[in-house]
Structure 1
Amino acid sequence: MAEPENHRSFTVAEDDDGIRLDRWFKRHMAEVSFNQVSRWARTGQLRLDGNKASPGDRIAAGQVLVVPPVDSAVVSSKPVRPKAHPLDPDEIAFVRAMVIAQGPDWIALDKPPGLATQGGTKTSHHLDRLLDGLADEAGNRPKLVHRLDKDTSGVLLVARSARAAAHFAKEFAGRGAKKVYWALVNGVPSIDDGLVDLPLAKQPGTGGEKMHVDEASGQPSKSRYRTIDRAGNRTAWLELRPLTGRTHQLRAHMAAIGHPIVGDAKYGGAEAFLTGGISRKMHLHARRLRISAPDGKKIDVSAEPPAHFSESLAQLGFDIEAGKALPTPVDPARSPEVKARRAAAAAKAARRSRKGERRSRGSGGSGGGARPRGRK
């Protein structure tokens, strides 16, 4: 079919393979609103390989997209990006020193404490800006796929392409990523291996900058913890695993059970600080990340704790090797207890099904038709 007059055609690039059509417009034609794209779709003007297309359709590399003309708009074949601020040599060296592992589709970084993941109104120095220092020869910069709080250190994954970013975003959203954190907390939990199951919501009056437990309208939030070691009743070194992905989840949960993370004034107040020369910096470290790469291979990356965290461990008499030697945590959904419960439930359902079948075969009744004949 001939292309309508004044319409433009674009071939979907490899970097856009698998994304939604509305996302393509955000990348390449940011001046076109979602409502406009929807109107084009409703009137049949938006075509993908000659067929009518909708904003929610997934597109594939090599497909041809036909778009109506846009009044007074300059359409670019490349993604729209914010104005770049060149990095100086020290900044480039700084971000490259963070790299601890990498693969064809990803780079794993060890983010230091005090560095924000993304910029804000008063934040011009952040990791997202520094990623220009990790761009490839073609100038393609890595893309953030998750984040860590400014004062939290440790493993942070970035994707080399938009396609890889979409894959990792799906893994994180679907809980395919397994994250392990180390933390020092004030006091010692009464249970060595426990689950915190408390719904969280944004605390009113904080502009969304703080979370709190809200049983009525909070989002489901679960965190597991294991005690690695303890210093009397003063403090404990914990392994934390977020089973959901709420903002500040681990910080809010530990404070809610009376054991705020050391250095976390926002959630722990004065109780978040220890005496005796222990650093006042946050003692929360993203120790390990396990996730599947786009090629199906498993990524398993660990980061050593920052200097202030290591010094506190030593000062409190903890042996860092104890944390490293801790067995890999069992996925709760695959634990022996859960498997046993599921097997028992399946067996019970099967017995009920067989029992109902026997009753059906043996039932008669005036309106139920003829009974099965016995063998002669």
Structure 2
Amino acid sequence: MTLAILHADEHLVAIDKPPGLLVHRTQLAAHEDEAALQRLRDQLGQPVWPVHRLDRGTSGVLLFALTPQVASLLGTMFEQGQMDKRYLALVRGWPAMDEGCIDHPLARDPEQPSAGQPMLAASTRWRVLARLDWQLVTDPRFTTTRVALLEAEPLQGRRHQIRRHLKHIAHPILGDATHGKGPLNRAVAALLGTQRLWLHARELRFTHPVTGAALVLQAAPGAGWPSGA
């Protein structure tokens, strides 16, 4: 599959990562031959350096540098919060408010027990884009299933930050095998005709580290997303 390129210049390139594709190969997925880094390298015919991560299940804007020097500059910008990141998320239930900010410290490694780990400051702004009432029975107490489409803006880049924060407010992302509920995820996959994590990196805004130009990189959410996305 050819990766869709959203922006390219002599310093950096951004792609629209499809869901299910690793950013790069890891020991945890040693059996996987495909990853965005290797695929983009082969597509461009030159080395590329990843400067941030998206979960395997997350789709959308993914940025790479074309030199180690630019990779270092972009990495520092991510670390210092100089990147404006906007995501779409389909979540279980209807939030009581139309917008809010989740200010909840997170353990450094989400794969390990939180006890004994350093807790890192983490804040995520969110707002409701649409409230949906699907003709889907996943709980015998209700004849429909309520779902909300949110825009989420993580102010840091903690691992799984949006997923963990939305779980913290009892609105886990649909398709999240770690933080959601299996029966609901399976019912949603059957209804929508695809099994995926319903999280999409829609927009990335930042100042080009070399040219100083203001960049706005956007990726449409694609098929399957409800109206309002």
Other structure's SS at 2:178 match:
helix
Calculate the aligned-residue CA RMSD, in Å.
Answer: 2.3
Q: Separation in 2 of the partners of 1:134 and 1:304?
A: 22
User: Which residue number corresponds to residue 129 of structure 2?
Assistant: 228
CA distance in 1, matches of 2:116, 2:173: 22
Q: Distance in 2 between matches of 1:172 and 1:259?
A: 26
More helix by share: 1
Select the residue among 110, 113, 118 that pairs with 2:19.
113
- In 1, Cα distance between the equivalents of 2:102 and 2:12? 32
1:268 aligns with 2:205: no
- For 1:342-361, list aligned pairs within 5 A: none
Q: Cα deviation per residue 1:83-115 (whole Å; 9 max; x = unaligned)? A: xxxxxxxxxxx34x3212222311110000000
One-letter amino acid of the structure 2 residue matched with residue 237 of structure 1: L
Counterpart residue type for residue 132 of structure 1: R
| AA matched with 1:192 | D
Say which SS state the counterpart of residue 70 (structure 2) adopts.
Answer: helix
Q: 1:1-376 residue pairs with structure 2 within 5 A?
A: 94-95=1-2, 97-121=3-27, 122=30, 123-135=32-44, 140-201=46-107, 208=109, 210=111, 217-232=118-133, 234-270=146-182, 273=185, 274-275=187-188, 277-278=191-192, 279-293=194-208, 294-308=210-224, 310=225, 313=226, 318-320=227-229
Whether the 8 Å contact between 2:110 and 2:160 is mirrored in structure 1 is no
Classify the secondary structure of the residue corresponding to 1:268: coil
Q: Deviations over 1:182-222 (max 9, x none)?
A: 010000111211011111115xxxxx553777798421111
Which whole-Å CA distance do the structure 2 matches of 1:237 and 1:191 have between them? 13
1:130 maps to a residue whose letter is: R
Q: Which runs of 5+ in 2 are unaligned?
A: 134-144
SS in 2 for 1:171: helix
Do the aligned partners of 2:90 and 2:148 also contact (CA within 8 Å) in 1?
yes
Q: Matched residues in 2 for 1:212 and 1:268: separation? A: 18
Structure 2 vs 1, CA of residues 120 and 155 (structure 1 numbering), >3 Å: closer, same or farther?
Answer: same
Q: Which amino acid aligns with 1:263?
A: G
Is contact 2:107–2:117 with CA below 8 Å preserved after alignment? no
Question: Contact (CA 8 Å) 2:20, 2:196: kept in 1 or not?
Answer: no
1:212–1:219 distance in 2 versus 1, CA, 3 Å: farther
Alpha-carbon distance in 2 for matches of 1:120, 1:111: 17
**Paired residue type of 1:223:** T
Q: What code does the residue aligned with 2:157 have?
A: G
Give the equivalent residue in structure 1 for 2:138.
none
Return closer, same or farther for 1:235/1:306 CA change in 2, 3 Å cut-off: same
Residues 189 and 210 of structure 1, relative CA distance in 2, 3 Å threshold: farther
* Percent identity (aligned): 32
Structure number with higher strand proportion: 2
* SS, match of residue 180 in structure 2: helix
Letter in 1 for 2:130: D
Aligned mates of 1:287, 1:212 — CA distance in 2: 31
Q: Is the 8 A contact 1:212 1:252 kept in 2?
A: no
Contact 1:225-1:241 within 8 A present in 2 as well: yes
Question: Rg: which structure is higher?
Answer: 1
SS at match of 1:196: strand
* TM-score normalised by the chain length of structure 2: 0.84
How far the C-alpha of 1:132 sits from its partner, in A, is 2.1
Measured at CA, do residues 214 and 188 of structure 1 come closer, stay the same or move farther in structure 2, by a change above 3 Å? farther
For 1:236 and 1:192, the matched residues in 2 are separated by: 10
In the alignment, structure 1 segments of 5+ residues that lack a partner are 1-93, 203-207, 321-376
Distance 1:195 1:227 in 2: 12
Q: Structure 1 length as normaliser, TM-score?
A: 0.52
State the aligned residue count.
Answer: 211
Partner AA of 2:174 in structure 1: V
